Amino acid sequence: MAKFNININGTTKKIDADPDTPVLWVLRDHLDLVGTKYGCGIAQCGACTVHLNGSAIRSCSVAISTVGDQKITTIEGISKSSEKLENIVKEAWLTHDVAQCGYCQSGQIMNATALLKINPNPSDTDIDRAMTGNICRCGTYTRIKTAIKTAAAQLT
Amino acid sequence: MTLVKTKYNRRSFLKVSAASGGGMMLGFSWLASCNPTKEQALSMPESWFDINAFIKIGENGLVTIFSPNPEIGQNIKTSMPMVVAEELDVAWKNVIVEQAALDTHKYERQIAGGSQSIRRGWQGLRMAGATARHMLMEAAANEWKVTVSSLSTNEGIIKHDESNRTMSYGQMAATASTLEVPENIELKDPKDFKIIGQPTKNVDGEKIISGAPLFGLDFKREGMKISMIEHSPAFGMKLKGFNEEVIKSMPGISDVLVVNTAPKEAAWSNVNAFTEVIAIVGNTTWQVMKAKKALIVEWEWDSPAEDSQDHEFKLAQSLQTGVKELARKDGNAEEAFKKAHNVIEKTYSAPFLAHNTMEPMNFFADVSKAKAELIGPIQTPEAMGKSISNLLDIPIENVTVMLTRMGGGFGRRLYGNFGLEAATISYNTGKPIKLIYTREDDMTQGVYRPAYKVKYRAALDEKNELIGFSIHGTGIHGSPVFENRFPAGAVPNYLAEKMSIDSNISTGAWRAPRSNFIAGAEQSFLDEVAEAAGKDPIDFRLELFDRAIKNPIGTDNDYDPQRYAGVLELVRDKSNWGVKTEGVYRGVSAYFCHNTYVAQVLDMVLINGKHKIKKVWCAIDCGIVINPEGAINQAEGGIIDGIGHAMYSNLTFDKGSPIQKNFDTYSMIRHHQAPSEIEVFFVDNGIDPTGLGEPTLPPISGALANAIYQASGQRLYKQPFIQQDIKLG
Ligand code: FES
Ligand code: FES
């Protein structure tokens, strides 16, 4: 076990965990932030997507010891955010009633938000390329794409 | 006007009481049918009289509907309360939907599967809403000393038109709760529906997108430990020994044990190939995962190892020489084949598939010798409770199973072996635990969609009329054939035969069982037969439906040819079928299962020599559409899921082990492979609603194969299509 100070959703938290613990399990087990989901554990499904300094990462495959003082943002952080982008994305998800079972959606939203941050007006191909790592067994892909486009339209 | 009875043989489907905190509480049976058919009335199940859902009308006018049904993503937590609110006549914005505090004693009929929830619940839900409305009106009539029939309601307000007096439901709720439940109740005319038929957002939408702890995997209780299991790596192997001491001494690990969950009594929900597993219990998920990785286990063979080549060979052999069960025979098919001008014969096959719900299996258990408390995602809580009671000798009254939201079901969560494991681990260690499957555990545990093979033959006479048809189907643990489905009933000489083979690999229901394979095979075959007959594939099918309408063969036909033809005509018209567009390759398909009719046209284009599904047109006849928003979402999901599994997914075996263990090797459809657009059309016919969780999935693989044929000239007989070396363009 080792002690870490990590910056999560704008506040610093003290953690006592094995250094190789993936960020995913620190969030879920140590911090009770369970909006970030486990789906595969090997960076293949995107359910665990969070932002590290604003970029999307697969938290199941990043050890807590490598995070240092970089900023982690989770779905809980996004959902409380007062930023324009985050709110537009959330609104778009609700407008298009995207979720079915809902399990993959926090990862989808985290990835979509990261995409729109660097590319506020993505083409279909941009969206496909950025989102391809996020699996949805319920098959909500077309709605996700529509939601991203709706959000983009409001950003530009 | 439909009049329904709230009582049957002096027993009531409804119960009224005062709500704690003021207002009225109407309890009802969620899945009772208050308009039983003759056969149903004879066998009226006890459970129809179990009060298992509640409507509360508060003095503030807010209506709370406690929904007991498990939510696996079919949106029934939104659509079912909409039905209650409709008959009750309240504004949807004043309705709160709560998942009832669920336990198996009160909620005996909880099951989500087979797209049945809405079909079964429809009448009961309407009766409950209508009864509450009537009682509120009766209370107002008494108060004002007028007749009930002189009153009207609108969005929670009762009005006496003559005197122009009004009163809210909230004001009358307490009084209404003291009245007798009326014996007969009138339901609305569907043309007056105001809420049903309106696109309505998922009631949990906001919680889902904010990451609220809704799912089983998110459940936490103070003092709870994390547990994982290790099952044998191959079907046919059992545990011999392992490095128990090493694992026990690893950081954070409190218990390492072997648990046996072989049920004492067989139950359909107890599918499980690995009844003896190693369980590890510890403080955090990561510590337990690390301990699991450090396991060195010795396994030994118990039954022969199987692999995918074996399966392929045995299925082919079973089609040729296996023991046949004659399922249906009309006329004389063999004679028709002999006389035929042209005989078309094709064989189709599909592999094993894993369910791969995005939320892996998991369950919380706090179990002692005296009682068991289970919490998690399960489609069959009642069956799980019974199995645990049996296995651990705990009286059933002391077993509770509570539900969480489910991160997908697709049939996997009908089989609660993970609950039995969780219960046994907690029982043996004396600790509350949450069992979590890794993705690998989940994908290799064995409740699979089995591999199938089916052979079709069609006989055309010299006028290219279909005079004979036969279907022989085999599969692992069961045949995929539905003998009474189309084209049975439309062909004078028809033969259906079933075979199956055994295996030590366990299988179970998977989204639209059997239909998920057979629909695509049948619809590809019919496309090929239509071509051989020189007919347009839609016209060809419509001719057959016409035969089944005018001159049906046999009496057991499992479909209504008129409604079947109806969806096909609708999709034909909407998609402008017959109008050719340069560079667009089209395939069509239609199927009836789970009481719903679906027809689809799939448009494929080629971009840089690669295929892209440009659009899917989908016509559906599922009776009244309660919530178009949710219904369209379900329909799209089924289509994408169906394309994905037919095109990409494949589970194969080597020496008894599943070769694909996680998403790096098991292909799931991804964003860029989904259709660019899906448009859904509903037939408007006022018939009682049927389910939508499954029916759009089965036919789409047929439309896909038929479109690929147009684009490539290649017919596809084997799933997954992607492995068939298709040369497009
Ligand atoms: S859980 Fe991290 S990508 Fe699947
Ligand atoms: S909504 Fe169920 S997995 Fe995506």
Same domain, B7 and B144: yes
Beta pairing partners, B362: B436
- B325-347 average pLDDT score: 98
Q: Are residues B196 and B258 in the same domain?
A: no
Question: What pLDDT was estimated at residue B113?
Answer: 42
Separation CA B219–CA B196 (nearest Å): 34
User: Ligand 1: which of A25, A26, A44 to mutate, most ligand atoms within 8 Å of CB?
Assistant: A44
Q: Which position has the token pair 């489609």? A: B379
Nearest-neighbour CA in chain B from A39: distance (Å):
6
Residue B315 belongs to some domain of the structure: no
Q: Which of A37, A45, A93, A138 to mutate to test the pocket of ligand 2 (most atoms within 8 A of CB)?
A: A138
Rounded to whole angstroms, how far apart are CA atoms B405 and B412?
14
A98 lines ligand 1 (CB under 6 A): no
Report whether pLDDT(B34) > 80: no
**Segment B78-99, tens digit of pLDDT:** 888 898 899 999 999 888 887 6
For B462-473, what is the mean pLDDT?
98
Cβ of A135 less than 6 Å from ligand 1: no
Looking at residue B30, its pLDDT comes to: 64
Sequence-distant (6+) residues with CB within 8 A of B81 are B65, B67, B95, B97, B203
Cis link prior to B487 (omega < 30° from 0)? yes
pLDDT tens digits, B265-283: 888 888 999 999 999 999 9
Measured in Å, residue B407 CA sits from the centre of ligand 1 at 15
* B91 and B175 assigned to the same domain: yes
CB contact under 8 A, A76 and B210: yes
Q: What CATH number has the domain spanning A2-77?
A: 3.10.20.30
* Residue with the two structure tokens 């309660």: B626
Q: Do B600 and B709 belong together in one domain?
A: yes
Domain C-terminal end among B413, B436, B459: B436
Q: B253 and B202, same structural domain?
A: no
How many percent of chain B have pLDDT more than 90? Answer: 77
Interatomic CA distance for residues A55 and A62, integer angstroms:
13
**Using omega within 30 degrees of 0 as the cis cutoff, is the peptide bond preceding B492 cis?**
no
Check if the beta carbon of residue B494 is closer than 8 Å to that of residue B488. Answer: yes
Q: Which domain holds residue B148?
A: 2-209
Set of chain B residues whose Cβ sits within 8 Å of the Cβ of A142 = 636, 640, 674-678
The reply to whether B37 falls in a domain is: yes
Dihedral angle over CA of B113, B118, B122, B128, nearest 10: 80
What is the reported pLDDT for B408? 94
Rounded (10°) angle between helices B76-88 and B117-144: 30
Residue B141 lies in a domain: yes
pLDDT in tens, chain A (156 residues): 899 999 999 999 999 999 999 999 999 999 999 999 999 999 999 999 999 999 999 999 999 999 999 999 999 999 999 999 999 999 999 999 999 999 999 999 999 999 999 999 999 999 999 999 999 999 999 999 999 999 999 997
**Number of Cβ within a 10 Å radius of residue A18:** 18
Sorted by where each begins, the domain ranges of chain A are 2-77, 79-155
CB contact at 8 A, B139 and B16: no
What whole-number distance in Å separates Cα of residue B288 and Cα of residue B566?
56
From the list B671, B673, B697, B555, the residue with the least C-alpha distance to B618 is B697
pLDDT digits (tens, 9 = 90+) for B437-460: 999 999 999 899 999 999 999 999
Q: Tell me if B210 and A37 make a contact (CB, 8 A cut-off).
A: no
pLDDT in tens, B197-227: 999 999 889 999 999 999 999 999 999 999 9
Domain limit, last residue, from B407, B436, B465:
B436
Check residue B100 and give its pLDDT: 60
Q: Say what the pLDDT of residue B1 is.
A: 64
The answer to the question of residue B515 being in a domain is yes
Q: What pLDDT sits at residue B54?
A: 83
* The pLDDT of residue A41: 98
Query: Which residues 38-97 on chain A approach chain B with CB closer than 8 angstroms?
Result: 38-42, 44-45, 47, 74-76, 79, 90, 93-94, 97
**Domains A2-77 and A79-155 agree in fold:** no
A45 lines ligand 1 (CB under 6 A): yes
The continuous run of DSSP H or E covering A142 comes out as helix A141-155
B86 and B200 housed in the same domain: yes
Looking at residue B128, what DSSP letter applies?
H
pTM: 0.94
Whether pLDDT at B111 is above 70: no
Pairing of strands B225-230, B433-436: parallel
pLDDT for res B264? 84
Q: Are B158 and B297 in a shared domain?
A: no
H-helix or E-strand spanning residue B460 = strand B452-460
Scored b (16 or more CB within 10 A) or e, B587-625 reads bbbbbbbbbbbbbbbbbbbeeeeebebbbbbbbbbbbbb
Q: Which residue, of B152, B179, B209, is where some domain finishes? A: B209
Do residue B128 and residue B237 come from a single domain? no
Whether the CB-CB separation of B224 and B41 falls below 8 Å is answered with no
CA distance A93 to A97: 6
Complex-level ipTM: 0.98
Task: Centre a 10 Å sphere on the Cβ of residue B238 and count the other Cβ atoms it contains.
Answer: 15
Quote the number of domains for chain B.
3
Q: What is the CATH number of the domain that holds B97?
A: 3.30.365.10
**B131 pLDDT more than 70:** yes
Residues B582 and B635 both lie in one domain = yes
CB atoms within 10 A of CB A84: 10
Q: Fold for domain A79-155?
A: DNA polymerase; domain 1 (1.10.150)
Q: What is the mean pLDDT of chain B?
A: 91
